[in-house]
Structure 1
């Protein structure tokens, strides 16, 4: 079957533009490819190819090459000669390295799929793929996102799911055309503030990381889809901050005024309060600050803080009720 397809393609000669040899159990690429100089699409996925033939470099008009699900251990050097290539699929191999210079001739590349390999790093040369719009690196062993990726100004989709990424570089802000960012199942602890500068980002997927907090300004992103399940967002102990005085409720402000007037035996207030039994009942539950002795209604007290008493202090000067009241404010 493989021979028949290849013969058919060879009969077409220079007019042949598409060759599909998908799932033919091939262990070698046919060297006769050099007789198809005008080939545009070459599909060799789902075979057992461990090494490409040297003749591949003659296919300078090739725009799509699919070598997915084979046995390649590195990105073939011959690929750098495919200067017209726009779509390159190398998913499902055993690629553990990309040699320096292999990507140099791929200036027109638009899509690069390296899913399901064993990459632990990427060469700096990946930053030269300036026309790249889609990059997928799912299911590899990457621990960092190379900064060079962040300078691919046309990149619109970046997928680095199921890797070992621990942080997102600040340079992510330069991906101003990024529309989809997927970082599922990594070890990312936080999103940098620079993510909030990705004005075109519409889909963000950070499910299954260890993110516990999102940066200020995150709410300003115009996301259509956002996935964050599987993160310990609410497991971290809260950070307490002093509550400023200007956050008193109106009821608390009024109550403190009325209570202070009652303590001064203001006859007008004392007579008026008798006409409002519900208010009188609420005011009867007021407490006094154990330090400043001023009355309050809320369970928060701005002037109280606790320090270990010195040996000279007499704790007996506090009544039991005062101690209980002060403890209830926290």
Structure 2
């Protein structure tokens, strides 16, 4: 019969021995790498290495960390990838010098309370291949964030306020929509959203002027927002989406019947565009009107403002020659809005009413 206590002691001895071998410079040791050693725990003797900068322990069997880990206040890189952790451990919050944290390939489904409070210098966080359904706040310094292969159903709005974020990877989740707040990621250069359940890309995505790589392959997109063609992308991938295809249709000419609110709103919005001084001064006293007309749109044909979406159309444009794109992508379907039948019947040869556009 196996003596469990003996196995535990011998396991501890093995890990202590591994650490002794790895520690060559005593308290001045800067780096420890013990990958793939079947370690089940981090020895408490790690607390005797206050100057440690890099700790690599990936591909082991570690399910929890020792409290002594929290004393490594000079640690800049911690790699616990491919272990058996079920949470981002609380001890991490004391690693105030940490810049890179790798926790991929664990069983993480939660964050310990306050775990991100001390991570003021963290620039890279890799949480791929876990079971997360949410991401906490307070990661202001992040430049690179990867959460591929998790269980997120939405992009947390808090992520949209990480002002330094340059790369965001959210492939293989269950994301349905993208929040409007994504427009605040002004420094974002790479956005990976492949293999989710995204139906619509918001118009504000076009405000990401530094975006260079966008991957939305394998979602349920049919159309892209107006202005999308002006993004200065270098790479764009959209295969595996049920995109609208270009098929000629005929228009039916009818009369427009507008509500009083629509008529009034159109008049006010277009007068404001022309900088009518009387209206500009008067409308300051009516915040409810501001709220209404702030929802106004611009007609893709006549360029005038309107409130109620009369008809949603699709315009087919070739992708930029500067883009590296998915194979066989010849035309990009763009969403356009038209204010009236009159304008609809003046549309260009590549614009069609969505209701009349055939799908793949």
| Alignment-derived partner of residue 223 in structure 1 | 233
Maintained 8 Å contact 2:186/2:210:
yes
Structure 2 partner of 1:29:
42
* Structure 1: gaps of 5 or more residues: 248-330
Task: Indicate conservation of the 8 Å contact 2:15/2:41, yes or no.
Answer: no
Any unmatched runs of 5+ in structure 2?
1-13, 255-300, 302-360
Shift in Å, 1:235: 6.5
Q: 2:117 aligns with which of 101, 104, 128?
A: 104
Alignment of 1:1-330 (within 5 A): 5-123=18-136, 125=137, 128-234=138-244
The answer on whether the counterparts of 1:10 and 1:35 sit within 8 Å (CA) in structure 2 is no
**Superposition deviation, residue 11 in structure 1:** 4.6
Q: CA deviation at 1:243?
A: 7.1
Give, in angstroms, the shift of residue 193 of structure 1: 0.4
Gap change, CA 1:131 and 1:3, over 3 Å in 2: same
User: How many residue pairs align between the two structures?
Assistant: 242
* Separation of aligned partners in 2, 1:236 and 1:69: 47
Cα displacement (A) at 1:98: 1.3
| Cα distance between partner residues in 2 of 1:21 and 1:118 | 25
The question of whether the paired residues in 1 share the 8 Å contact of 2:90 and 2:113 is answered with: no
Q: Is the 2:15–2:42 contact (alpha carbons within 8 Å) kept by the matching residues of 1?
A: no
Deviation of the 1:231 alpha carbon: 0.2
Contact persistence 1:143–1:163 (CA under 8 A): yes
| TM-score of the two chains, using structure 1 as the length reference | 0.70
How far 1:122 moved relative to its partner?
Answer: 1.8
- Tell which has more relative contact order, 1 or 2 (C-alpha 8 A, sep 6+): 2
Please name the residue that 2:290 is paired with: none
Tell whether the 8 Å contact from 2:15 to 2:43 is kept in structure 1 after alignment.
Answer: no
Structure 2 contact 149–171 (Cα < 8 Å) conserved: yes
The CA distance in 1 between the partners of 2:50 and 2:102, in whole Å, is: 20
Judging changes above 3 Å, is the alpha-carbon distance between structure 1 residues 51 and 16 closer, same or farther for their aligned structure 2 residues? same
Deviation at 1:240, TM superposition (A): 7.1
Q: Relative to 1, partners in 2 of residues 1:241 and 1:131: Cα closer, same or farther, differing over 3 Å? A: farther
TM-score normalised per structure 2: 0.64
8 Å Cα contact 1:2/1:21 also seen in 2: no
Report if aligned partners of 1:170, 1:194 keep a CA contact under 8 Å in 2: yes
1:100 shift after superposition: 3.2
1:9 shift after superposition: 4.0
Q: Is the CA contact (8 Å cut-off) linking 2:72 and 2:95 kept in structure 1? A: yes
DSSP-derived class of the 1:33 partner: helix
- List structure 1 runs of 4+ shifted beyond 6 angstroms: 235-240
Asked whether the 8 Å contact 1:90–1:114 carries over to 2, the reply is yes
2:218 counterpart SS class? coil
CA distance in 2, matches of 1:191, 1:205: 12
Of the two, which has the highest radius of gyration?
1
